[in-house]
Amino acid sequence: MTNAAPQPVPAAPLTPAEDNQWASFAHLGGILGILPSLIIWLIFKDRGAFTNAEGKEALNFQITLLIAEVVSYILIAVFIGALLIPVIYVLRIVFSILAFIKAKDGIAYRYPFALRLIK
């Protein structure tokens, strides 16, 4: 008798509707910051191609904004940072909503500016 550990069962692939749904949520979650996009991408990247691609896109955009926020907080000492922080938050909300609207219909969205750190 062997005491071999049971092998994990791979998660089922997402249906096309679920793929669109989770891809759109990866973008919409960006309104709250980087964590929702990161969590969705990590959980669903292997279960749906569209969610994988859009999750990476959303995550890259959120990383770009996070870097901009850090730089802005550093620049608060020279006042320009205090002006940039609200602009970053508005960009986060507007572009996350635009991306959500496209992705929920199954249309890939490419942010107009983002560091493509996750390939």
How far is 98 from 28, CA to CA, in rounded Å? 9
Tokens read off for 113: 């500016």
Residues 6+ apart with CB under 8 A from 102: 108, 109
Question: Is residue 71, in this structure, part of any structural domain at all?
Answer: yes
Q: Let me know how many helices (H) and strands (E) the chain has, helices first.
A: 4, 0
pTM: 0.86
Residue 4 domain-assigned (yes or no): no
Neighbours of 70 (CB within 10 A): 11
Q: For 64-78, what is each residue's pLDDT tens digit?
A: 999 999 998 888 877
113 located within any domain? no
The residue segments making up the domain with residue 67 are 16-103
Q: Is residue 1 pLDDT above 80, yes or no?
A: no
Which tens digit of pLDDT belongs to each residue from 37-54? 999 999 999 999 999 999
The closest of 110, 112, 117, 114 to 54, measured between CA atoms, is: 110
Measure the CA dihedral 109/112/117/119, to 10°. 30
Round the average pLDDT of the chain to a whole number and report it: 91
Count of structural domains within the chain: 1
Would 92 be classed as within a structural domain? yes
pLDDT at residue 100, rounded to an integer: 97
Residue 3 lies in a domain: no
